[in-house]
Amino acid sequence: MLDAMDRKLVNRLQAGFPLCERPFDEVGCEVGLTEEETLRRVGALLAGGQLSRFGPMYNIERMGGAFCLCALSAPEADFDRIAEAVNAFPEVAHNYQRAHKLNMWFVLAVETAENIAELTARIERATGCEVLAFPKLEEFFIGLRVEA
Amino acid sequence: MTHVMDELDRSIVLATQGGLPLVPRPYARLADTVGTSQEDVMSRLRRLLAIGAIRRIAAVPNHYALGLAANAMTVWDVDDAALPELGPRVGRLDFVSHCYHRPRRLPEWPFNLFAMVHGRGQSEVDAKIEVIAALLGSRCKAHDALLSTRILKKTGLRIAG
């Protein structure tokens, strides 16, 4: 699926994209592609799903907002209804079913950190389940460089 | 979300939530969208990078599509006194994508260190979990690995316009 040039391009683009007038031209020069071909390949990698995103990666916390990982234990028989109730909140950015007694894990993204407690209380009312919040106390590292 | 960003910064964030435009001059296109000059957009992005509101401008690979099909949320009960030294060492491992200190929720949840582990298959993930276990040694009392069985929702960051 990825040819050698795609891999080179993906690895280069993970490191950072230049802030200049013709950034695709600059990246293309580095990896040995024309500007046009660089644009075409990035578009194809996004369309094909090999890249999930291309652009600024925002840190909501530095903008005054907050993320909070939360978990609840949903009874198996009621799981889908509870998942639907949780997903209906626009602040829920991701939600995963996981193999554990705490079987539903979701991330809240809110514009101000003070909203977290109020929001988890609303999710408890909507689901009938106790919501455990796991706010991060410290971040040790974020980011995985995948050798494509 | 206002104290470090003015209205124009906010417009830039909103306009790039889906990514940068795929055109030869993406910052000029963005400037047209939000109603300013290319130079202004670039200097604002530089400032947001400098203060950490933007981690970086880059491509984010899809782990699954690149062959890292297996992952586990690994959780560890680490001696609090050892966490400042051990947390960064776990976070720096090249197969760990996110690593955080989070609160315990006793009695049901004794774990205070969370690390997302990725691998090409389950056996590779299992082997990497053993690497972390060896690194933490006796300063970790218990650990668990929560495999994701289903993605229920994935929308990423969306701030209200």
Percentage with pLDDT > 70 across chain B: 94
User: Is pLDDT above 50 for B106?
Assistant: yes
Please give the mean pLDDT across all residues of chain B. Answer: 90
Q: Do B1 and A65 make contact, defined as CB atoms within 8 angstroms?
A: yes
ω into B21 cis (within 30 of 0): no
Q: Which residue has the higher pLDDT, B147 or B27?
A: B27
Question: A–B: how many Cβ contacts below 8 A?
Answer: 231
Pick the CATH number of B7-50 from 1.10.3470, 1.10.530, 3.10.450, 1.10.10: 1.10.10
Task: Quote the pLDDT of residue A123.
Answer: 98
pLDDT attached to residue B5: 86
Kindly report which listed range (A40-44, B36-40, B115-119, B129-133) carries the lowest average pLDDT score: B115-119
Is A11's Cβ below 8 Å from some Cβ in B?
A: no
Residue B122 reports pLDDT greater than 50? yes
**Structural tokens at position B112:** 């205070």
Tally the residues of chain B.
161
Q: Report, as ranges of residue numbers, the positions in chain A whose pLDDT lies below 50.
A: none
**The domain over range B70-147 is classified in CATH as 3.40.50.720:** no
* The pLDDT of residue A33: 98
Q: Considering only the top CATH level, what class is A60-134?
A: alpha beta
Q: How far apart are CA B25 and CA B29, in angstroms?
A: 6
Q: Report how far residue A108's alpha carbon sits from residue A115's, in angstroms, rounded to the nearest whole number.
A: 10
Domain ranges of chain B: 7-50, 70-147
Residue B135's H or E segment, with its range, is helix B122-136
Which of B38, B41, B90, B100 to substitute to test the interface with A, most A CBs within 10 Å? B100
Q: Under an 8 A CB cutoff, do A23 and B26 touch?
A: yes
Structure tokens at A19: 């802030």
More confident residue, A50 or B26: B26
Q: Which residue of B has its CA nearest to A42?
A: B22
Domain ranges of chain A: 4-47, 60-134
- Chain B touched by A112 (CB under 8 Å): yes
Instruction: Please name the member of B4, B66, B99 whose beta carbon is closest to the beta carbon of A140.
Output: B99
Looking at residue A62, its pLDDT comes to 82
Residues 23-42 of A with CB under 8 A from B: 23-25, 35, 39, 42
pLDDT in tens, B55-82: 899 998 887 777 777 889 999 999 999 9
**The pLDDT of residue B161 is above 60:** no
Q: Do A43 and B22 touch (CB under 8 A)?
A: yes
Question: Which of B18, B42, B61 minimises the CB distance to A146?
Answer: B61
Q: What is the ipTM of this complex?
A: 0.74
- The closest of B151, B120, B119, B121 to B132, measured between CA atoms, is B119
CB-based contact B59 A87, cutoff 8 Å: no
CB atoms within 10 A of CB A85: 17
Q: B2-21 pLDDT, tens per residue?
A: 467 899 999 999 899 889 99
Smallest Cβ–Cβ distance between A50 and the set B18, B65, B105 belongs to B65
- The predicted structure's pLDDT at residue B64: 75
Least confident of A26-30, A65-69, B31-35, B43-47: A65-69
> Where would I find the H helices in A15-91?
23-31, 35-47, 79-87
pLDDT of residue B149: 81
